[in-house]
């Protein structure tokens, strides 16, 4: 397929994208019909029905991606009549392309185009989740440093900080830090939190912030008081998670946060020199 045709088709597809009031992107099926080279609606509708079946088989709700609507169109006499149409998500367009006639240039283009766009969206979503996890890890580091300072200020030393944090881990996971490291295959010299899922990082941070607040408010001046407070807070957070169907010790570990940071930093540098590049 010639480069000029690819450029024209890309521009045309994106030009027909619309948005709902809530900002949800969609295409209208009757627009897509012509974009994909189908002259008759009944033939195109057969492809749409195949796409709906594929949507259902893949475990997705048809109604989330194919929404029936009516619209008024002008006919030859200048009068208007109501016709059926369908609002389609990008995923729905992808499924329609996958079930279309590959002999058509437009379909051949769309099959690759929507597949790449769908993959691109998945990668972007993953990067956003990774960035959120990095921010959660940084926030936990900050709150733990603050708790260490509180311990020093109110007890005259913070040599017990590591012990207090470990007791908090045991209260949160129902297992020791050492046991969780073995379970998650965390190197002995690395913090458990560097391999924890975002929800655990936020849970630990929340419990730590409560400990800081109450230690200051109640002027706790020894390791026993602060340790007891931290254990209580982590147990409370654990109970909340369990009540919502989440057992902290049964969650799977995430990729080493240091590797994730290096990957995102590299992508940022690469994007500055090549804005169109999006690595896997």
What are the pLDDT digits (tens) for 180-236?
Answer: 999 999 998 999 999 999 999 999 999 999 999 999 999 998 989 999 999 999 999
- The DSSP call for residue 69 is E
Q: For 158-191, write each residue's pLDDT tens digit.
A: 788 999 999 999 999 999 999 999 999 999 899 9
Q: For 232-242, write each residue's pLDDT tens digit.
A: 999 999 999 99
- Residue 83's DSSP bridge partners are 71
| pLDDT cut 90: percent of the chain above it | 60
Report the alpha-carbon distance of residue 106 to residue 96 in Å, rounded: 12
| Residues making up the chain, counted from first to last | 280
Question: What does the pLDDT read at residue 53?
Answer: 96
Report the alpha-carbon distance of residue 197 to residue 215 in Å, rounded: 27
Write out the two tokens for 278: 């999006």
Write out the two tokens for 233: 């807070």
Half-sphere exposure of 8 (CA within 13 A, CB side): 9
Report the alpha-carbon distance of residue 64 to residue 171 in Å, rounded: 41
Does residue 28 register a pLDDT over 50? yes
Residue 84, number of CB atoms within 10 A of its CB: 12
Does residue 82 register a pLDDT over 90? no
Does residue 256 register a pLDDT over 90? yes
Residues near 142 by beta carbon (within 8 Å), at least 6 away in sequence: none
């Amino acid at each position: 397929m010639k480069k000029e045709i690819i450029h024209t088709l890309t521009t045309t597809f994106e030009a027909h994208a619309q948005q709902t009031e809530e900002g949800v992107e969609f295409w209208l099926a009757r627009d897509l019909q012509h974009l994909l080279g189908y002259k008759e609606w009944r033939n195109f509708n057969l492809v749409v029905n195949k796409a709906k079946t594929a949507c259902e088989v893949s475990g997705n709700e048809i109604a989330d991606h194919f929404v029936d609507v009516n619209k008024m169109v002008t006919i030859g006499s200048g009068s208007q009549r109501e016709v059926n149409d369908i609002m389609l998500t990008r995923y729905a367009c992808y499924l329609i392309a996958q079930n279309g006639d590959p002999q058509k240039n437009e379909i051949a283009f769309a099959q690759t185009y929507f597949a790449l766009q769908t993959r691109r969206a998945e990668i972007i979503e993953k990067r956003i989740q990774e960035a959120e996890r990095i921010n959660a890890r940084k926030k936990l580091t900050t709150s733990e440093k603050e708790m260490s300072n509180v311990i020093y200020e109110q007890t005259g030393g913070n040599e017990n900080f590591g012990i207090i944090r470990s007791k908090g881990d045991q209260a949160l996971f129902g297992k020791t830090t050492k046991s969780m490291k073995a379970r998650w295959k965390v190197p002995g010299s690395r913090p458990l939190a560097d391999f924890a899922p975002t929800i655990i990082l936020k849970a630990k941070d929340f419990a730590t912030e409560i400990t800081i607040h109450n230690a200051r408010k109640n002027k706790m001046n020894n390791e026993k008081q602060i340790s007891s407070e931290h254990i209580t807070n982590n147990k409370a957070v654990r109970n909340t998670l369990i009540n919502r169907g989440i057992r902290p010790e049964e969650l799977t570990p995430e990729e080493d946060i240091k590797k994730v940071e290096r990957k995102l930093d590299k992508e940022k540098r690469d994007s500055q020199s090549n804005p169109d590049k999006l690595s896997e």
